[in-house]
Amino acid sequence: MTSSRVLHGIGVGSTATVGPCVRFSAPVTAPADEPRPSSQAEIDEAVRRLTDALQQVAEELEAAADANRNNETLGAVLQAAAEMAGDPELKDRSLQLIRTGVGPATAITRVVGEFADVFREIGGYMAERVGDLHSVRDRAVARVLGVPEPGLASMDAPGVVVALELTPADTSTLDMDKVLALVTQEGGPTSHTAIIARQMGLPCVVKVDGAADIPAGTLLAVDGAHDRVVVDPDEATQAEIRTRMANRSRLLDDTEPGATADGHRVQLLANIGTVADAEQAAATAVEGVGLFRTEFLFLDESEEPTVDNQAEAYRQVLAAFAGRKVVIRTLDAGADKPLAFANTTPEENPALGIRAFRLARRNPQLLAHQLEALARAVADTPQTEAWVMAPMISTADEAKDFREMANAAGLDHVGIMVEVPAVALQADRVLTNVQFASIGTNDLAQYTMASDRQLGALADLIDRWQPAVLKLVAQTAAAGQRLGRPVGVCGESASDPLMALVLAGLGITSLSMSIAAVPEVRFALRHTTLDKCQEMARAALDAADAKAAQEAVRSRVTPEVKEALALD
């Protein structure tokens, strides 16, 4: 009889499942003893092989992007990866190395390494694209060496996909109808794997030491709620997961507006990024959109989208939510999300540089055109309650400037994102200039704790339960209450049912999250009174550290919530 063993990682969401391990094969690497081309004929042949490989990879990724046009987020990322494979600088630099006597697999590996270092130094959005670079490298190396590319040999039946890490290109090859769960040895809570799992409500655990050593076919219990993967789970573990998931499925029956047990309203909204996201979210029991990321129209474009094109996309999103609310965030780009047409220059510390609202200092027409397009879309969809907000506001004057620009364009309900500690500390003054605020807890935590949100090694610092971050949230919410300004949360904190109770207790008026997270958050609120939420909030604020804050709140959860959400 095989005994169970438990592997720990970072859980994504709170779902769980049991199924057989399906291995996603690791990429082949350039051999240390790769033959070095010496004669002109050998160099020409190596140049041809790598040129053909990169062209084929680019064509495959382009085809994958076309096949995923219904998922605009994934399609856009695949398109960007295709452009990386076809990048002339990447190819030319690799061919230069070959002509100095370096093998083709080694050449592309070295050059991708150089590009990846630059991307990591830029940080933010560009750092997130390192995985795409590696995907291009892995596929090119496999073609040059004549070996299979990384992927699944087959997936004839449902299973748990286990990989070192999954890039968007990797994900595009999966039959998601057969994927029971995702497990990776690398990555973090904001990795592509985690984002996909969160969007689809799939059980997922990332950063699992030892995941790469699990043999194919091994039965696994993947438990996102408890940050673990159980290898060869016993019958009791399997039965507990089946019971818990059966109970969870009943949460979907509740489609009432968000509120605490005693009727205190907290709006439950969706985070979206594309028209396709909007259509999917609109078909669920959400009260609207709390964060419409408009970057999908801008990133990876060679020139600024026209006002007409922008207006049409915004119009489609607003029309999907007729009778509900949509909060639109203006362009969050620049520096770490560079735009080819914005003429931004490299910065040594881009996370603190010209990005989001600050981009208007160099390119005022970008924001002016976007506001014009938004105003057109809003005018054409009067049945939708449209709010607009700016990201990366740092001062009261910036808030006032944005409100005046939006008002001049014809937009009336104007707000800001609270991502910079300076705004939370000056919330009373800043909020007098706008009608509402939405707290982006991911960036607020990053700037408060001085820790890169993409760096898994600092995950403990970026923890949503850090009391210092919660105190800034509390301060902003309190200012909103004094001034009669609604203050929502649209960061990852909103999707955590336990944290949602704390946020409600702090005075947050709306929570925006992935649609998969809504049922559990709704249930937690509906089975907890406002007084209890406020008690939890005080306990979290008084805690010495993140772990103590979470435990203090967990100990106060009602039995119904504890059982339904497996919080024991």
Residue at 184: amino acid letter: T
Question: Do 367 and 339 contact (CB within 8 A), yes or no?
Answer: no
DSSP annotation of 517: G
Answer yes or no: are the C-beta atoms of 170 and 232 closer than 8 Å: no
Question: What DSSP string runs through 181-229?
Answer: EEEESS--TTSHHHHHHHHHT--EEES-TTGGGPPTT-EEEEETTTTEE
Greatest extent of the chain over all pairs of C-alpha atoms, in Å: 81
Helices of type H across 251-350: 275-282, 307-320
Residues 6+ apart with CB under 8 A from 555: none
Of all helices (H) and strands (E), which one includes residue 45?
helix 40-67
Going edge to edge, which strands form the sheet with 16-23? Answer: 5-8, 228-231, 219-223, 16-23, 159-163, 179-184, 204-206, 10-12
Work out the burial of residue 83: count CB atoms within 10 Å of its CB; fewer than 13 is exposed, 13-18 middle, 19 or more buried.
Answer: middle
369 is catalytic: no
Q: What is the DSSP letter of 554?
A: H
Is the distance from CB of 363 to CB of 328 less than 8 angstroms?
A: no
Alpha-carbon distance 152 to 162, whole Å?
10
Identified catalytic residue from 21, 204, 369, 490: 490
Tokens 């955590």, located at residue? 496
What is the rounded CA–CA span in Å between residue 447 and residue 326?
27
Q: Annotate 280-318 with b (16+ C-beta within 10 A) or e (fewer).
A: bbbeebbbbbbbbbbbbbbbbeeebbebeebbbbbbbbb
Task: Please list the residues that pair with 12 across neighbouring strands.
Answer: 204
The dihedral sign for the CA sequence 33, 39, 45, 49? positive
Is 533 assigned a catalytic role? no
Determine how β-strand 5-8 pairs with β-strand 159-163.
unpaired
Residues annotated as catalytic (active site), given as ranges:
192, 490
